[in-house]
Structure 1
């Protein structure tokens, strides 16, 4: 079971965040859907994202097949719901990173720290967002679910863009005329995604195993940010200390990793 999911399931008093004017029926609907998504999350941890089926969800759930299909019109609709669930968990960490007390480049490091932490907490969900974007899934998922998924994606992108805008505003970062914030934000994300994916899934490969520095992600991101001339450069600032401070800042989540 994913470490974060395990923690969520232990919260006996956890309730759905809904407006006070929702009816009991609507509240019950949302609580049931959350329970079904948590069950699907657990199945993904056990069997992998590609092996999740509606029949497996029916077998693992206390609800009837008809009830489950009222929530998710198809397997693809369920997969998109899991994608939304994944991004929502990630957003919790990203928003915390955004509030880290440091310079703009340190805040950018906090985002990368948060993303790596999410991968450690929920490795099965880490790459599932990409799977939900496949044409086969998009064609069969409900329009409402896809719209919410896109909204969550935009929230992540806006957080990443915000950090680069802060760097430009405080004049620690200057982009070449040919580059946009969207381009450098994508470069930053792709560095992080690729590094984490390799560390989590290809640790035995020689190209990965020969790297002795345990802060591989920090090294890679510093290479990127130094190349962008984002001040202060790593030669003039101790980002290793920033990384250690981030471990303290995210200690409540790191504790979940240690408990696992």
Structure 2
């Protein structure tokens, strides 16, 4: 098998340039490629188009804070006041997409499909300017697959061939983004040697990953903390 392991974060992000389109995995605070995002901030690349379900929260949206993002393609942005400020002021271009459509456009890119038909958004602003078609008496909207330069994902465990295992909610978008860009970079909490992972437990095979590395410590924040005082 081809060894996909890279020695450090700098090697993992080799080739990143201004004005690229990036996919960033994660769902809320679960499965965020934190090390890759931190390195993007350090590199200072700008004019980025970022495809991600969320846009972070007020103190955990580093690329937005540094104004490195030109366009944000997301489905949920309600936790980030800075996002709202930049959008309303015209500093940030925004494309809001139904969550299922976002996932399917990633999956279409992963599978090599140029586009998919979906009923989501038909008859609304989402469908304006897009091709529509009737199938079995129901109307659908044509949505094109994403085209991205890099995809950054975070998995719980992986091996040196790029095989990945995700945990819990981190499976919502990370798997769909693997192989959906020209280069997929996976960061994992634990990187193991070849032959260690049970093949029956692997969620994404290494063929969808070009680079893999073990990340540093992760914050693992709680997005909405709810507490109850006992009587």
Q: Which structure carries more strand by proportion?
A: 2
Q: Work out whether the TM-score is over 0.5.
A: no
Q: Which structure carries more helix by proportion?
A: 1
What is the TM-score with the length of structure 2 in the denominator? 0.26
Task: State which structure, 1 or 2, has the greater radius of gyration over its C-alpha atoms.
Answer: 1
